[in-house]
Amino acid sequence: MRPWLESDAEALFKYASDPEVGPRAGWPPHKSVEESLEIIRTVFNDATNTWAIVLKETGEPIGAMGYGPSCDCNLPAREGEPITGYWVARPYWNRGICTEALRLMIDHIRKTTEIKSLISGHFIDNPASGRVMEKCGFVPTGETVVDPEQGRDTPICVLRLTVWK
Ligand SMILES: CC(C)(COP(=O)(O)OP(=O)(O)OC[C@H]1O[C@@H](n2cnc3c(N)ncnc32)[C@H](O)[C@@H]1OP(=O)(O)O)[C@@H](O)C(=O)NCCC(=O)NCCS
């Protein structure tokens, strides 16, 4: 994983314009390379908590991994508890890439921050994402929430990872 670069805009558009990717994570498909560039500048611009997932072989960005304030969503976060989010381009699904990237980020958080826990959630009809979290140690809290801001009324299953006791 590495920080996003403005030169990634075309690759980001190629994969983030896929209607099967963004809506599963609560954001609309990108409509133009310019929009992708704007996302790199305004959303993917903090290299301390947001990374491009790149193919080791080619260096091509094929997904995103990050964590940040949970105040913009309906997840039942504890005081100061960050939310985790990620996606991987459809041609690369089910190869263990997201699990590898999430494990790397959790390891990095353990080594470099005082964060005690992370919260995340996945739409109930997106079990692959829940599987990624569970493989990385997240545990379902048993709660579901609805967040129309994510573009759908579908229930979201909530999971939490204890980083440090
Ligand atoms: C969810 C997503 C990030 C997973 O990325 P990935 O690189 O394919 O994940 P991995 O290969 O590391 O792991 C996927 C796991 O889900 C499992 N899985 C896939 N489809 C599944 C399904 N329909 N039901 C249950 N499990 C499923 C895979 O078998 C694998 O588990 P396993 O290793 O035990 O076999 C990817 O599908 C994606 O980007 N989806 C769209 C955006 C998104 O959903 N983001 C997360 C929002 S919460």
pLDDT tens-digit readout, 122-137? 999 999 999 999 999 9
Q: What is the pLDDT of residues 49-103, one digit of tens each?
A: 999 999 999 999 999 999 998 777 889 999 989 999 999 999 999 999 999 999 9
Buried b / exposed e along 127-140 (16+ C-beta atoms within 10 A): eebbebbeebebee
Please report the pLDDT score of residue 73 as a whole number.
Answer: 82
Percent of the chain surpassing pLDDT 70: 99
Average pLDDT value for residue range 150-161: 94
Domain membership flag for residue 112: yes
Q: How confident is the model at residue 165 (pLDDT cuts 50, 70, 90)?
A: low
CA of 62 to the centre of ligand 1 (A): 14
Domain membership flag for residue 108: yes
**CA pair distance 138, 84, nearest whole angstrom:** 11
Within 8 A by CB and 6+ apart from 89, the residues are 14, 15, 18, 21, 62, 63
Residue type at position 72: D
Domain membership flag for residue 119: yes
Domain membership flag for residue 155: yes
Cα-based distances in Å from 18 to 27, 60, 66, 150:
11, 17, 20, 17
Domain membership flag for residue 1: no
Helices and strands (H and E) in the chain: how many: 5, 6
CA of 54 to the centre of ligand 1 (A): 17
User: Domain range spanning residue 137?
Assistant: 6-162
Ligand 1 atom closest to residue 21's alpha carbon, by position in its atom list: 41
Domain membership flag for residue 19: yes
**CA pair distance 36, 15, nearest whole angstrom:** 10
Is residue 150's pLDDT more than 80? Answer: yes
How many domains are there within the chain?
Answer: 1
Domain membership flag for residue 100: yes
Nearest CA to ligand 1 atom 27: 128
Please report the pLDDT score of residue 70 as a whole number.
Answer: 78
Domain membership flag for residue 80: yes
- 113: domain CATH number is 3.40.630.30
Which residue of 104, 132, 150 sits with most ligand 1 atoms within 8 Å of its CB, as the best mutation to test the pocket?
132
Nearest CA to ligand 1 atom 9: 98
Residue closest to 53 by CA, chosen among 19, 21, 20 = 21
